Amino acid sequence: MKETLSKLKFWYQKAGELGAQYYNAPYRAAIARAKREEDDLFMLLVFSEMMGVPNPASWYCLELQPLLLERFHDWHQRMGMEHSPLDNFRCC
């Protein structure tokens, strides 16, 4: 009985995984792209002050900067800036 239950659970999980893949497969790229665009906008807000754009929430953005630095390089390249636009932070 226990074995049957665990087998059933395994098949349910497997079916769930395949179902989720089937749901996502056709639109995975479009959604990932939309998410990236949102992230880019957020990144722009966080780093806006450093690029001379006044930001009333700069204190909070400053706190967030270390969390985003890892993705900073990809972001500035995507934005069309070959090298880091910030004087005090050179990632490349």
Partner 1 sequence: MSAIVLLVLGLGGMALGYFFYSRFIANHIYKLDENFKTPAHEMEDGVDFVPTNKFVLWGHHFTSVAGAAPIVGPAIAVIWGWLPAFLWVTLGTIFFAGVHDFGAIWASIRNRAKSVGSLTGEVVGKRARAVFMIVIFLVLLMVNAVFGVVIAKLLINNPGAVVPVWGAVAVALVIGQLIYRFKFNLAWVSLIGIIVLYGLIYVGPSMPITLPDSTFGLSASASWILLLFLYAAIASLLPVWMLLQPRDYINGLQLFVGLILLYAAVIIANPSVVAPMINMDLPANTPSMVPLLFVTIACGAISGFHGLVASGTTSKQLNKETDARFVGYFGAVGEGALALAAIIAATAGFASLADWQAVYSAFGKGGVLAFVNGGATILHAGTGIDAAVASTMLTVMAALFAGTTMDTGLRLQRYIFQEWGEIYNIKWMGKALPATLLAVASCLVLAFGAGGADGSGGLLIWPLFGTTNQLLAGLTLLVITVMLVRRKSPTIYTLAPLVFLLVMTLAALLLQLKGFYDQQKWFLLGLDIVVLVAAILVTLECAAALKDEKRKAAEAE
- If one asks whether residue 26 binds partner 1 (CB under 8 A), the answer comes out as yes
Residue 86, sorted as left (phi over 0), alpha (psi -120 to 50) or beta, turns out to be beta
- If one asks whether residue 11 binds partner 1 (CB under 8 A), the answer comes out as no
For 27, which DSSP code? G
- If one asks whether residue 5 binds partner 1 (CB under 8 A), the answer comes out as no
- If one asks whether residue 33 binds partner 1 (CB under 8 A), the answer comes out as yes
Question: Do 43 and 68 form a contact (C-beta atoms < 8 A)?
Answer: yes
* Amino acid occupying residue 1: M
- If one asks whether residue 57 binds partner 1 (CB under 8 A), the answer comes out as no
Pick 16 or 85: Cβ nearer partner 1: 16
